[in-house]
Amino acid sequence: MMTYEQAKVRWQASHPPRHYLSISDLNRETAQIVLSLAHAMKRATQQGRELFRFERPTAVALIFEKPSLRTRVTLEVGLYQMGAHGVYLTQSDIQMGTREAVMDIARNLGRWVQGIVARVFLHTALEELAQFAPVPVVNALSDREHPCQALADLMTIQERFGTAPCTLAWVGDGNNVCHSFTLLAAMLGHQVRIATPEGYEPNAAVLQQARAFAAESGGSVTLLRDPHEAVADADVVYTDVWVSMGFETEREARMRKFLPYQVNESLLRLAKPDAIVLHCLPARRGEEITDAVLDGAQSAAWDQAENRLHTQKALLALMLG
């Protein structure tokens, strides 16, 4: 089992990022180090011990413009388990960008805490925090990416299938979660098939970057319209809500267009018999996914949610330790 000390030596030799705003801030080696350490941390936690604890007093600012269950709990619990303290700050607390400029908040926090984790509406806010903060900044979700979620996704896939290349089907909206999942999966050599309605594809620049990663790793990224074609013989079937926060006014139009993309028992039968189903949660049961699938034997959504804890612990230990 990898030790933290072994991971840290490899991390420092592998051009680690100063900030983690995008999957693109990682390279194949640093991504593999985070995942390997996360697996080791999970095994240690299950045995009632911790693989890493901060040696000095450590505090991390947790900025949340959006509400959260998994992100907040896993960050606060993970920091506590490693002997650090999370300072939870909502938009009503700091009014970032209105009561006080983002750059001034970044400069202030950098005098008090050892890291900043931010869940924001606009990715540009993260970029400004990173520009002016003298401490590492981590993206806990933005309109462009959800890179902490992608680490948990790939950890879950590795738990079921190891590190060998797999066929991964994304079905539904080409959103921020899709962006990070596709980038990391392509970086690690997987074959990614993305099925979306016309007009809801992933960002063109993200697709270009993912295909560049795939060209280096031996993977592939394919954009499709037909969800049946995407899921056929897939190892993993992944979906997310059709109406994310901020898109509520589009609900009626989105429901019509996405209905053929529901992950149900009929669609899942096209995948491999041992395929797993992922969902980053929260789920709109009966919309993008049925109860029978989400609660079924092939669902790995609960392991995936747990793995947010372990991957974020590994990432923060490496970036702040």
Among candidate residues 10, 25, 114, 149, the one labeled active-site is: 149
pLDDT over 90 for what percent of the chain? 95
Among candidate residues 39, 193, 280, 310, the one labeled active-site is: 280
* 149 catalytically annotated: yes
pTM of the model: 0.97
* 153 catalytically annotated: no
Say what the pLDDT of residue 226 is.
98
pLDDT confidence bin for 251, thresholds 50/70/90:
confident
pLDDT confidence bin for 77, thresholds 50/70/90:
very high
Q: Is the pLDDT of residue 298 over 70?
A: yes
pLDDT confidence bin for 252, thresholds 50/70/90:
confident
The three-state secondary structure class of 285 is strand
Say what the pLDDT of residue 253 is.
85
Among candidate residues 39, 70, 119, 179, the one labeled active-site is: 119
Among candidate residues 70, 144, 146, 279, the one labeled active-site is: 146
Q: Across-strand partners of 139?
A: 118
Q: Supply 284's token pair.
A: 């709109």
Q: Is the pLDDT of residue 303 over 90?
A: yes
* 6 catalytically annotated: no
User: Model confidence over 7-54: pLDDT tens digits?
Assistant: 999 999 999 999 999 999 999 999 999 999 999 999 999 999 999 999
Pairing, β 236-239 against β 167-171: parallel
**Measuring CA to CA, which residue among 73, 7, 114 is closest to residue 309?**
73
* 178 catalytically annotated: no
Give the position of tokens 């080791």.
Answer: 40
Sheet holding 59-64, edge to edge: 85-90, 59-64, 115-119, 137-141
* 166 catalytically annotated: no
Q: What's the whole-number mean pLDDT along residues 188-214?
A: 98
Q: How far apart are CA 124 and CA 42, in angstroms?
A: 33
pLDDT over 70 for what percent of the chain? 99
Amino acid at 131: Q
Q: What's the whole-number mean pLDDT along residues 115-125?
A: 98
Q: What's the whole-number mean pLDDT along residues 127-138?
A: 98
What one-character-per-residue DSSP string does 152-187 give?
HHHHHHHHHHTTS--EEEEES---HHHHHHHHHHHH
* 254 catalytically annotated: no
Pairing, β 191-195 against β 276-279: unpaired
For the chain, give the mean pLDDT. 97
Q: Supply 197's token pair.
A: 């309605």
Say what the pLDDT of residue 272 is.
98
Are 155 and 312 in contact by the 8 Å Cβ rule? The answer is no
User: Model confidence over 153-194: pLDDT tens digits?
Assistant: 999 999 999 999 999 999 999 999 999 999 999 999 999 999
Q: Is the pLDDT of residue 246 over 70?
A: no
Q: Burial level of 162, CB count in 10 A (0-12/13-18/19+)?
A: exposed
Q: What's the whole-number mean pLDDT along residues 281-303?
A: 98
Say what the pLDDT of residue 245 is.
65
Q: What's the whole-number mean pLDDT along residues 99-123?
A: 97
pLDDT confidence bin for 244, thresholds 50/70/90:
confident
Say what the pLDDT of residue 248 is.
74
What one-character-per-residue DSSP string does 38-65 give?
HHHHHHHHHTT--S---SS--EEEEEES
Are 52 and 321 in contact by the 8 Å Cβ rule? The answer is yes
Are 281 and 307 in contact by the 8 Å Cβ rule? The answer is no
Q: What's the whole-number mean pLDDT along residues 71-97?
A: 96
